[in-house]
Chains A and B, each alone.
Chain A
Amino acid sequence: MRFAASLLALVALATPLPLAAQLPIPVYLQAGLGIAVPRGDVAASEGGFSASTGPTFSIGARVHPIPSVGLFVQYEQSRFGCDDCTIVGLDDRAVLESIGGGMRYALPVPAFRLSPWVEGTLVRQTLGFSDGNHTLASDADFGFSAGAGVTIPIASRFAIEPGLRYLNMPANLEFELYPDRDVDVTAFTLDVGLAFRL
């Protein structure tokens, strides 16, 4: 549901102008696919849930009011493996979903047509567990990610954007039967994005 809503929002973002001509201000639709490698407490059994590496993907849009600075919004979902979950009858994954916005600073290197960048993102995220019938998700909380990558143009409107990010996204789970539990989700994500300029 949330994913569908995000898609609709992105479509809304994309529809004001026809695709035939490039916009005077660069606007990109972007999507990424990669892996998320959990670190710290979340990867441990005590204080975490033995999270293991899982897939991650993202979609979003980015505008560049000036060539070196991009502002973006994106939806991201990481599906960590969860060995502790299967022991107790939960699905074998914990899903971290986030929606946020950030800023990218690009450093053009004309000689190589590459554009290294760094970016930071402020997100609002939830961590969810499911038993196949119901999902129990944490309260929405604020987190962040920071990363670096490089934009590699591959066609007039397309570029691939491999990147490495560090994310820190705390999750507070409220229960009726138990005291609250806090899980500090930290991970590295390594992904390859595809950007399409409108």
Chain B
Amino acid sequence: MIYRYLPAAVALVALSACQETDTPTSALLEQRVVTALGGLEIGESLSLSGEAAAEVVLGGSESAGDFILIPFHASREQGAELAVGLGGTDLGTPGPSQRAPDPRGGWTVPESSLPGWEMHESMLARFRTGAEAARSKLPSGLGPQALANLVPSSDLRGGDLAVDQLVELNTDTDGDFCADLDVRTGRVEAISSGAVVVADVDNPKDGFTRSDYEVFAERFDSLIEPTITGAFGEPTDIDDNGRVVVFFTRAVNELTRPTDEGFVGGFFYSRDLFPDTPADPCPASNQGELFYVLVPDPAAVASHIPHTRDGVFAGALGTIGHEYQHLINASRRIWVNQANSFEETWLDEGLSHIAEELLFYADAGLSRHSNVSLDDIFGSTQLLNAINQFGIQNLIRYGLYLEEVTNDSPTGAGDALGTRGATWAFLRYLADHQPRSDPEFFHDLVNSQDAGFDNLASVVEGDPVDWLQQWGVSVYADDLVTAAADSAFQQPSWDFRSLLPELFGDFPLFVRTLSGSGTLEFDVVSGTSGYVQFRSPANGAAQLSIDSGGETPPAKLRVTVVRTK
């Protein structure tokens, strides 16, 4: 008899088995439920974008919770601005968002640490425009075959260069890319296996001595050459001398205009990689692998800014490493990789700042993922010397970015110091989170036929814009939110929270505060993030509304919220 009920019993069991969640839920409902269940743990995060970011509900714990809200402008359009509006209800005032500074003193910023950028930017723009035009006009073509057929007629050509030999080098940067001349006479001061060091015979007095130049040549061979080519690849050798020419010339000092507060530390000009042949005339080209470096000028005769011998000496190797990346990048794009264009400025500069960082690691005997801290720096003379020579400029530029974090961007079109600091830190972060070594990663970035975002996208795993967003969270969370569970929010190579206060007096990240029932409005440039801290009430919830110019947030507005305390 009991079996007569079996079908109904089976129906009940089947009904039970079908008991699954299938109701569509909204982002807001999820937020509400999680908040009702106690909300985010310290270090946990919430990510929203577009319409889903219009309302944020957080809190829910018995004690007040501190949060950082990070709106990110997800766009590849350089320089685009996105309005962000925030409104809060019943918010508390968050506690300090900093680690207490631990000043040591005695870390003086070297004179050579603050090259200006306005001049550099305009130069780069002109260089780029001229180089692309010259490149497109090369009738004999690009690539390895064209290089093999190239017979340049340079002063630098061949292996017969000798110390004390005089060479004529064009230093013009103002005029026509391939036509205008500003010829300086240089004397070969030192020759090593990898470098020819040339000094302008008209350099100011009290500058480098021959022994100084010999030190540069030796350090080029022992440190710069293996480090930089190991990471980025070998440069071309169109002048067939087997070396790179480093030209110390007052022409670099002279680039500083009377109104400039900063100065140019050195430059590489891709013009010099173009041949001057009947088929491809470019008489302004020096037809060789060379770059130009600042010289000491204590009496400020070449510009209004004086440069001591020690100051320039301390910065010169970093500059050489920096320019060497530019040289390798451009020469391989023209003659090896047959790239579609030169690298975009922001990425090219970022890679050159990576070059400086790699020199720091090599000189300090460190590798990435060392989370270099102030304790490390002051615990080792070797590290302190290395960071003063190769690392401090990157730290300062990154700090400048943090001060203007919503206005500067790692992918910015300009060449501001902050942009360059941001690009360096972003590339370092990217490399740290790739399953490849630094040389493998950076080699691929330099040896690409693409440029800019397209180049990044072909080398990294995932969308570079997503990485930019996560990096933006790490800018705040790394070495601060100790329980941060997500490794994507960490920067394993540098403890900026300990280092930057020593240089800036405090961690320079610009963080806004939202409290009470206040509102905030600000713009965020593409590729970067803003930072807003707030506190949820104990046994309550913080409710925020987010808009963009009074409208519903567009998809390119992404918001990450991390509970910090």
Asked whether any CB of chain A lies closer than 8 Å to the CB of B33, the reply is yes
**Which of the segments B8-16, B168-176, B232-240, B429-437 contacts the partner chain?**
B8-16
- Is B513's beta carbon under 8 Å from chain A? no
CB proximity to B under 8 Å, residues A153-186: 173-179, 181, 183
- For chain B residues 7-42, which have a beta carbon within 8 Å of chain A? 7-9, 11-13, 15-17, 19-21, 23-38, 40
A35-51 toward B: CB 8 Å interface, digit per residue (1/0)?
Answer: 00000000001111100
**Can you list, as one digit per residue, whether each of A1-41 has a CB less than 8 Å from chain B (1) or not (0)?**
01001100110110011000001110100000000000000
Question: Is the C-beta of B517 less than 8 angstroms from some C-beta in chain A?
Answer: no
A154 to B484, CA, bound (A): 63
Q: Is A88 an interface residue (CB 8 A)?
A: yes
A99 and B36 contact, CB distance less than 8 A: no
State whether B15 touches A88 (Cβ < 8 A): no
Instruction: State the CA gap A127–B225 with chains docked (Å).
Output: 65
Which residues of A sit under 8 angstroms from B4, Cβ to Cβ? 16-17
Does A173 lie within 8 Å of B37, measured CB to CB? yes
Q: Indicate if B48 sits at the interface (CB-CB under 8 A).
A: yes
Q: Is A65 an interface residue (CB 8 A)?
A: yes
Query: Which of A48, A90, A175, A177 gathers the greatest number of chain B CB atoms within 10 Å?
Result: A177
Residues from chain A with a CB closer than 8 A to the CB of B23 are 134-137
How many residues does chain A have at the interface if contact means C-beta atoms less than 8 Å apart?
Answer: 54
Task: Give the chain B neighbours of A48 by CB distance below 8 A.
Answer: 37-38
Nearest B residue to A97 via CB reads: B19
A45 adjacent to B11 (CB under 8 Å):
no
User: Is A124 positioned at the interface, with any CB of B under 8 Å from its CB?
Assistant: yes
Q: What does the 1/0 interface line of A138-152 toward B look like (CB < 8 Å)?
A: 111000000000000
Would you call B265 an interface residue if the criterion is a C-beta within 8 Å of the partner chain's C-beta atoms?
A: no
Give Cα distance in the complex from A84 to B37, angstroms: 8
Interchain CA distance A139-B4 in the complex, whole Å: 32
Would you call A46 and B30 a contact (CB within 8 A)?
A: no
Is A192 located at the chain interface by the 8 A CB criterion?
no
Given contacts A13-B5, A87-B540, contact A181 B29 (CB under 8 A): no
| Residue B206 interfacial (CB < 8 Å) | no
Q: Write out the residue numbers on chain B whose beta carbons fall within 8 Å of the beta carbon of A181.
A: 34, 37
The residues of B that contact A129 with a CB separation of less than 8 Å are 29, 32-33, 36
B36 touches A25 (CB 8 A): no
User: Which residues of B lie under 8 Å from residue A125 when comparing CB positions?
Assistant: 19
Check if A89 is an interface residue, CB within 8 A of chain B. Answer: yes
Known: A12-B8, A126-B19. A84 touches B29 (CB 8 A): no
Q: Would A177 and B37 be within 8 Å (CB), given that A9-B15, A45-B61, A99-B16 are in contact?
A: no
Residues of chain B with a CB closer than 8 A to A124's CB: 16-17, 19
Whether B32 pairs with A99 at a CB distance below 8 angstroms is: no
Name the interface residues of B132-183: CB closer than 8 Å to any CB of A: none
Most buried by B among A24, A25, A73: A73
Is B46 part of the binding interface, using a Cβ–Cβ cutoff of 8 Å? yes
Query: How far in angstroms is the closest Cβ of chain A from B266?
Result: 48
Q: Judge whether B16 and A16 touch: CB under 8 Å.
A: no
Chain B residues closer than 8 Å to A126, beta-carbon distance: 19, 21
Give the residues in chain A near B35, CB-CB below 8 Å: 84, 87-88
Do residues A45 and B25 form an inter-chain contact, with CB atoms below 8 A? no
A17: B residues at CB distance < 8 A:
4
CA distance A101 to B541 in the complex (A): 40
- Contact residues in A for B279 (Cβ distance below 8 Å): none
Is A100 in contact with chain B by the CB < 8 A criterion? yes
Q: Pick the contact of B541 from A16, A87, A97 — CB < 8 Å?
A: A87
Write out the residue numbers on chain B whose beta carbons fall within 8 Å of the beta carbon of A10: 8, 12
Kindly report which residue of chain A lies nearest to residue B14, judged by CB atoms.
Answer: A9
| B61 and A136 form a contact (CB under 8 A) | no
Instruction: Tell me the minimal C-beta distance from B480 to chain A in angstroms.
Output: 21
B residues less than 8 Å from A25 (CB atoms): 1-2
Contact B29 A136, beta carbon cutoff 8 Å: yes
| Contacts A49-B36, A88-B32, A175-B34; A138 near B21 (Cβ below 8 A) | yes
**Bound state CA distance, A131 and B24, in angstroms?**
12
A191 to chain B, nearest CB (A): 20
Chain A hits for B540, CB < 8 A: 87
Assembled-state Cα–Cα distance A179/B40 (Å): 10
Contact B2 A183 (CB under 8 A): no
Is the CB–CB distance between B44 and A178 below 8 Å?
A: yes
A49 to B26, CA, bound (A): 20
Residue A85 CB within 8 A of the other chain? yes
The answer to whether B21 touches A177 (Cβ under 8 A) is: no
User: Is B466 positioned at the interface, with any CB of A under 8 Å from its CB?
Assistant: no
Which among A87, A126, A135 has the highest number of chain B CB atoms within 10 Å? Answer: A87
Report if A63 contacts B (CB, 8 A): yes
The docked-state distance in angstroms from the alpha carbon of A181 to that of B40 is 10
Interface centre among B11, B12, B17 (most CB of A within 10 A): B12
Inter-chain contacts of A89 with B (CB < 8 A): 32, 57
CA distance A9 to B60 in the complex (A): 40
Cross-interface CB contact of B539 among A2, A45, A173, A178, cutoff 8 Å:
A45
Chain B residues with Cβ below 8 Å from A9 are 8, 11-12, 15
In the complex, are the beta carbons of A46 and B38 less than 8 A apart? yes
CB contact under 8 A between A88 and B16, given known A45-B61, A136-B23, A176-B30 = no
Known: A82-B36, A88-B57. A178 touches B11 (CB 8 A): no
Least distance between B64 CB and chain A CB atoms (Å): 13
B47 within 8 A of A: yes
Chain B nearest CB, measured from A41 CB (Å)? 10
Q: How far, in Å, is A192 (CB) from chain B's closest CB? A: 23
Q: Per a CB cutoff under 8 Å, which of B33, B47, B57, B62 touches A173? A: B33
Q: Could you tell me if B38 and A178 are in contact, using CB atoms closer than 8 angstroms? A: no
Distance in Å: Cβ of B471 to nearest Cβ of chain A: 20
The reply to whether B2 and A177 contact each other, CB–CB distance below 8 Å, is: no
Other than the given A27-B5, A88-B57, A177-B30, 13 more pairs (CB < 8 A) read A2-B15, A12-B11, A16-B5, A46-B62, A63-B5, A82-B36, A84-B35, A88-B36, A136-B21, A140-B16, A175-B33, A178-B30, A178-B44
Residues of chain B having any CB pair with chain A under 8 Å = 1-2, 4-5, 7-9, 11-13, 15-17, 19-21, 23-38, 40, 44, 46-48, 57, 59-62, 539-541
What are 8 A-B contacts defined by CB distance under 8 Å? A9-B12, A12-B7, A25-B2, A47-B37, A84-B37, A87-B60, A129-B29, A134-B23
- Chain A residues within 8 Å of B, Cβ to Cβ: 2, 5-6, 9-10, 12-13, 16-17, 23-25, 27, 45-49, 63, 65, 73, 82, 84-85, 87-90, 97, 99-101, 124-126, 129, 131, 133-140, 173-179, 181, 183
For the complex of A and B, list the 7 residue pairs with the smallest distance between their C-beta atoms, beginning with the closest: A13-B8, A12-B8, A140-B19, A99-B16, A88-B32, A84-B36, A88-B35
